Structure 1
């Protein structure tokens, strides 16, 4: 049986809030954020009747509390999808949502379903990363992994050791550029199109969450230079050149290309291929490099074929190492994160993968001349994930 073509029809996310009591989502449940995204995808695509959605797949790193009880199934019910809609949850830490998209797309490709919703959510205010985890002591006592692997900031310092030519000043310069690109995208109204406003209750009453809380457009090199280095004395990783702790959800509507045509929907992009790869956990930020090489090899494409790359910036050093590996221009390669990245938007773990997909979707709408785009990210405990999409609005794609 030949695999079917899978397309993204739509994608949307909540705003990304700051984790903790001061964040706008502190009194909002994670599953309610997912429900908001599902309902908005259905509202925006009335041709897709609820009974057509056969699968609802959601990634979350901490699957307990308001992110537990097989959230893919519970949120389908809460969102008003029919009882026949199946659902499940997945966990690949930072790449949980990317994995959810890959899993749902695979189901469609092999004919297990025609229409699916997939995404990721993370309420890091309610569920700090690793807070309730109980790592097997053999990880450390038998030295299977370095103790640094359990602290993401230390893995970033290790990458600086691995690439001593990447200085703290370079990391800060990259981070400043990220903030500038995000500020510009907001000024031009591009990010607002990607966010569904959500009315939430806070300690100060009802508010509308319609804008990310993490971006700092006022950032300067001088300000970045004076930030503390919490992971190592005289280190290079600071709160300014790393992503934040955040709350948010993001999802996409997927279907077979035949189904989209049948419903009269205009697909945004077509799945080309995806790959995940493992690296040493203590240098987890290196993960996107082998996963990108793997997906390029599997699809027969070259890096030069990519018109845009959406790379999740867990840490600036990780992004710069990626740029160096693939010959991208530092600090500003026009192909990389044209709207800015996670250093500005924040990184609510499992929701970041789908955010990259949504960014590609909007970039393809703006640039019909672009053909291929890559979404890629590093993953806690030493993995990388990469997915290539083709712009179906491109005149060369047929």
Structure 2
């Protein structure tokens, strides 16, 4: 059990396991047009519990769920409602949080902090975003001081425009490079699907359409494996006339949910739970809102410094692909090639989608699976840009590496 309040001490924290729904297009004809957001979260949590029978539900200390647009079926203290609807004991509390795209990532780091000091042992973390029913920023009322006092530029609240601003800031990150990166993401994702590396993490979701009847979502809906550079070269640039950001080199609007279990490593080993990876360090950082996509650069620098590591120590990267140029700016800063095989081995959000607050855990699910395939890699990174000018990074250690030292007691 968790240490008493008088004896908190640092503990190793691990990612046990995670699952997600198939990601659907956020449109009236998409998978989840007639499915509630909270039901997507509930379905994910129930499946996660089913896959981890060693986890006693009553040992879960908290349930943290993120959503960016917290209204309707994405509101009402989402963590607690999902816990109750999932059949967890009434003794298990829960809450909701919001850090826009990094909601689920923040749920993980909040849980890690609590577990790390011994206040809790096991926390369920996740995120859900039904962008079809709850568009980003819908019914929000940004304070007029943002513009009247010139705190941000008028276009800083539009994520697509901030991506165009990155192209302006780094002219060598051309549209052609963005398009080529996007096509590669589609191809890597298709190869991962064909190799059976995506489906094991997906939770089948029953669908009901008033006109078509019942169905079952078992695969991501948004991928375009036949995408070519030539095919997306002349797509419209919706954020700027003659711009560089298109639907071909950006993530699509997406519905979906993710969920994961975080635990103290000593507790995981006590219960016989899987140890998918160990959290090493994490950091969030701010940048000018006008270049939101650059956020992962300073957050990664902070996380590396706190871990006593350099970028050369990182053997795998899971970077959220909100926009291709955003990833390219990160790679360019660290001198990593656009096609480096360490980066997004299974493809990324450009291919499979980006349901905002849930994407952080999706990155972790994929990194954990890749760690099993790459025991030669000791450290990996999950990182993403965040609206209003932020970045988030978590560094993980591979338990399959020869130098990994398992916790044998309450260390």
* TMscore range, shorter length: over 0.9
Q: Root-mean-square deviation (CA), in Å?
A: 0.8
SS of the aligned residue for 2:68 comes to: coil
> In structure 2, how many angstroms separate the alpha carbons of the residues matched to 1:198 and 1:190?
19
Q: Per-residue deviation at 1:298?
A: 0.9
> In structure 2, how many angstroms separate the alpha carbons of the residues matched to 1:3 and 1:32?
36
Determine if the alignment matches structure 1 residue 197 to structure 2 residue 197: no
Who is 2:409 aligned against?
A: none
Who is 1:163 aligned against?
A: 170
Who is 1:16 aligned against?
A: 23
Who is 1:322 aligned against?
A: 330
Q: 1:231 aligns with which of 226, 239, 248?
A: 239
Who is 1:279 aligned against?
A: 287
For 1:227-270, what per-residue CA distance to the aligned partner results, in whole angstroms no more than 9, with x for missing partners? 11111111000000000100000111111111111112230100
8 A Cα contact 2:55 2:273, kept in partner:
no
Determine if the alignment matches structure 1 residue 260 to structure 2 residue 268: yes
SS of the aligned residue for 2:48 comes to: helix
Who is 1:301 aligned against?
A: 309
Q: 2:10 aligns with which of 3, 28, 35?
A: 3
SS of the aligned residue for 2:19 comes to: strand
Who is 2:186 aligned against?
A: 179
Taking structure 2 as the reference length, the TM-score comes to 0.95
Who is 1:357 aligned against?
A: 364
For 1:69-95, what per-residue CA distance to the aligned partner results, in whole angstroms no more than 9, with x for missing partners? 000001000000011101011100000
Runs of 4+ in 1 over 2 A off after TM superposition: none
Determine if the alignment matches structure 1 residue 242 to structure 2 residue 250: yes
Q: 2:75 aligns with which of 68, 81, 84?
A: 68
> In structure 2, how many angstroms separate the alpha carbons of the residues matched to 1:114 and 1:393?
23
8 A Cα contact 2:251 2:354, kept in partner:
yes
SS of the aligned residue for 1:389 comes to: strand
SS of the aligned residue for 2:115 comes to: helix
Structure 2: gaps (5+ residues): 1-7, 406-411
SS of the aligned residue for 2:29 comes to: coil
Who is 2:218 aligned against?
A: 210
For 1:44-71, what per-residue CA distance to the aligned partner results, in whole angstroms no more than 9, with x for missing partners? 1111111011100011001110000000
> In structure 1, how many angstroms separate the alpha carbons of the residues matched to 2:370 and 2:154?
39
> In structure 2, how many angstroms separate the alpha carbons of the residues matched to 1:204 and 1:132?
31
Who is 2:340 aligned against?
A: 333
Q: Per-residue deviation at 1:222?
A: 1.0
Structure 1: gaps (5+ residues): none
For 1:335-380, what per-residue CA distance to the aligned partner results, in whole angstroms no more than 9, with x for missing partners? 1000001100111000100000001110011112211110000001
> In structure 1, how many angstroms separate the alpha carbons of the residues matched to 2:273 and 2:151?
50
For 1:274-302, what per-residue CA distance to the aligned partner results, in whole angstroms no more than 9, with x for missing partners? 10000111110000000000100111110
8 A Cα contact 2:268 2:274, kept in partner:
yes
For 1:296-322, what per-residue CA distance to the aligned partner results, in whole angstroms no more than 9, with x for missing partners? 011111000001010001001111111
- Which is worse superposed, 199-208 or 168-177? 199-208
Aligned residues: 397
SS of the aligned residue for 1:364 comes to: helix
